[in-house]
Chain A
Amino acid sequence: MQIVRTVLQRLAKLVVVVLIVSFLTFLLTKLLPGDLTTTLLGPEASNPAAVAALEAELGLDKPLLTQYWDYISGVVTEGDLGTAYASNNFPVWELLKQRLPATIQLMIMAQVISLAISVPLAMFSAYRANSLADRSITAGAFGLISVPAFAMAVFLVYVFSLQLDLLPALGYKRITGPDGLGANLRSVALPVTVLVAGLTAVYTRLLRSDLIATLQEDFILMARSKGLPTWHILLRHALRPSSFSLLTVFGINFGSLIGGSVILEYFFSIPGVGLLAVESIGKRDYLAVQGVVLLIAVAFVVVNFLVDTLYAVLDPRVRRAGAR
């Protein structure tokens, strides 16, 4: 019962955070100098009657709190995120649905690949701490963290598109497109590599230092004295208690990558959610901006909730602390 209560409390807190973030986003879009009516009316915007009529039509003449209430109740009761007036009156949800596949593909591929690289790399590095190999890995990770995403993208395009002529320098091909999966993978190869480079560096550093701390523990010594093979100790004994920081950052990145891949979406002309946000801010299309931020906030909060829950699964000590 205690567990249920803790979970419910945590969920309530998350709902509050999402509500506050959505309200702040709403306020933020209202503070924008230059507004939607200017974008929509063009030269007509100097005509106060036309502006007033449009504001009445869009509900922009109502008090702020009423506007927010209309918006959020629409979101909660009908899942209606409103209409992106400056994008051909598309429903915001439709826009998001168009843009999400590319962003999600980038995000998931980057996360999975970087995890697949960094876990074995960190285990090797931690096991041979301070060896030449470990120091090279650590230095390499440090260097990679310092490469801004757009600089890395420039380097990769230079090598793989200009010099080797292997991969396209820009553009995104859908899996459902005429050339199918192959073209799709080729089109995302470079942006995913940029993301993987950064994420792998972060994950490897985190997991390595946690593993090194864990490997000092008595139960590792115990396992070793029992004569268990090294890989078994690393994989089955050390990895699980060392994966907390990694898991935390891994979770946070699911939220931040939705907005954070905007640089790569822009560089490689990939129609994703981050690009949608930037375009919408430019057009003062406030409902679209609110939709994107709401989506990111929800993703952030949900993933963090899952991560918190996973702690309890991974470590019995957390479970007991929760039950107290």
Chain B
Amino acid sequence: MSEVLPAPDVVTPPEADEPAPGKRPSRLGVAGWLAAAWLLVVTAGALLAPVLPLDDPRITDFFVDNNASPGTGGHLLGTDNNGYDILSRLVWGGRVSLVVAFGVLLLGMTIGGTIGTLAGYFRGRLETVLMSIVDIFLAFPSLILLIAIVAFIGADLKNVVIGISLVSIPAFARIARATTLAFSQREFVVAARAAGAGNGRILVREILPNVILPLLAFGLLVVAIAIVAEGSLAFLGLTSTETISWGGMINAGRRPLQEEDVAHVAMIPSIVMFLTVLAVNFLGDRFRAIFDVKDAAI
């Protein structure tokens, strides 16, 4: 939990409760649909935030007390320590999580995937060099590295996404390399080469389509971690205070919780964050089972 990224070089044997080959779980199940529904609600809220009939998340309501409990003065989930409407900030904060999720998926997966695929396909010295760099990055304490990166390049949302993506590259690179290693020896690659296809064509037409699905399934796990990482930064007060983020909301609720015996300001965003991460993790787990990505491949 304190980890920003998973330790990717851990070899885990296949889960014993995995279904036998040929009998893959193809359905999400009730819990899976619930998870998908929750993510849909969060995403829809985030996308539609400007047009939803919500209070302005940056305007203090002077007609009710700060830290007003849920239901007071038309505030469905109450107000926080600045008198801001919590529901509205939750919806707007979802935008940040959404941006982080897609940004990291796009950046980290593209760069890490490319590095790993090239290393796994060409092997040799290129692989040694690339993977050594990746391993050195792994020896860095990831959260500290992230904090340092954000401190260097500034704490607005764009830079937070860049920072988390950078930290996620090694994990993507490792899984892409492992998958490429497995596929580049397969018959269809040999056949393509025999038919005269060059390296570029083989990489794009033969390897990439096989690497991308496991990478995406693994990507959902990284999305969960990225959301927590952004939350952690905001929680530590290291991101721009202009940005409304769930982590920042929890941080804002810290003093009310620990010193003023008011729990809802911190509790509500904590619960929302937990449900979101749980949903993403759960769907990722299902997809990994469906696409049969072994943790061992990481």
- On A, residues with C-beta under 8 Å from B are 17, 20-21, 24-25, 28-29, 31-33, 126, 129-130, 138, 142-143, 145-152, 154-155, 157-158, 161-162, 169-170, 194-195, 197-199, 206, 209-210, 212-213, 244-245, 248-249, 252-253, 255-264, 266-267, 274, 277-278, 281-282, 289, 292-293, 296-297, 300-301
- Besides the contacts A157-B257, A259-B142, what 17 more A-B pairs have beta carbons closer than 8 Å? A21-B139, A21-B140, A143-B278, A145-B281, A148-B273, A148-B277, A154-B266, A158-B267, A162-B261, A209-B16, A210-B12, A249-B10, A256-B2, A263-B2, A263-B235, A264-B2, A297-B139
The minimal Cβ–Cβ distance linking A25 to chain B, given in whole angstroms, is 8
Instruction: Kindly state whether residue B143 has any CB partner on chain A within 8 Å.
Output: yes
CA distance A257 to B4 in the complex (A): 11
Q: Nearest A residue to B231 by beta-carbon distance?
A: A148
B257 touches A162 (CB 8 A): yes
B11 touches A245 (CB 8 A): yes
A277 touches B273 (CB 8 A): no
A260 touches B3 (CB 8 A): yes
CA distance A281 to B142 in the complex (A): 14
- Please list the 9 inter-chain residue pairs (A to B) with the smallest Cβ-Cβ separation, ordered nearest first: A198-B1, A260-B2, A259-B141, A212-B16, A151-B270, A146-B278, A169-B258, A154-B270, A259-B144
Interface string of B227-251 (1 = CB under 8 A from A): 0100110011010000000010011
CA distance A212 to B136 in the complex (A): 33
The minimal Cβ–Cβ distance linking A226 to chain B, given in whole angstroms, is 24
The DSSP consensus for interface residues of chain A is helix
Contacts of A260 in B (CB 8 A): 2-4, 141, 143
CA distance A11 to B224 in the complex (A): 36
The minimal Cβ–Cβ distance linking B221 to chain A, given in whole angstroms, is 10
The minimal Cβ–Cβ distance linking B233 to chain A, given in whole angstroms, is 10
CA distance A20 to B136 in the complex (A): 8
Q: Nearest A residue to B280 by beta-carbon distance?
A: A146
A261 touches B2 (CB 8 A): yes
Partner of B10, one of A25, A149, A245, A267: A245
CA distance A62 to B249 in the complex (A): 44
Partner of A155, one of B7, B236, B267: B267
A256 touches B254 (CB 8 A): no
Instruction: Kindly state whether residue B152 has any CB partner on chain A within 8 Å.
Output: yes
Q: Nearest A residue to B225 by beta-carbon distance?
A: A148
The minimal Cβ–Cβ distance linking B283 to chain A, given in whole angstroms, is 11
Q: Nearest A residue to B275 by beta-carbon distance?
A: A146
A147 touches B152 (CB 8 A): no
Partner of B285, one of A29, A33, A142, A258: A142
Given A145-B1, A146-B224, A260-B3, A213-B152 contact (CB < 8 Å): no
Name, among A126, A170, A195, the residue most crowded by chain B CB atoms within 10 Å (CB to CB).
A170
CA distance A258 to B143 in the complex (A): 11
Contacts of B16 in A (CB 8 A): 126, 129, 209, 212-213
B2 touches A257 (CB 8 A): yes
B258 touches A170 (CB 8 A): yes
Contacts of A24 in B (CB 8 A): 136, 140
A150 touches B247 (CB 8 A): yes
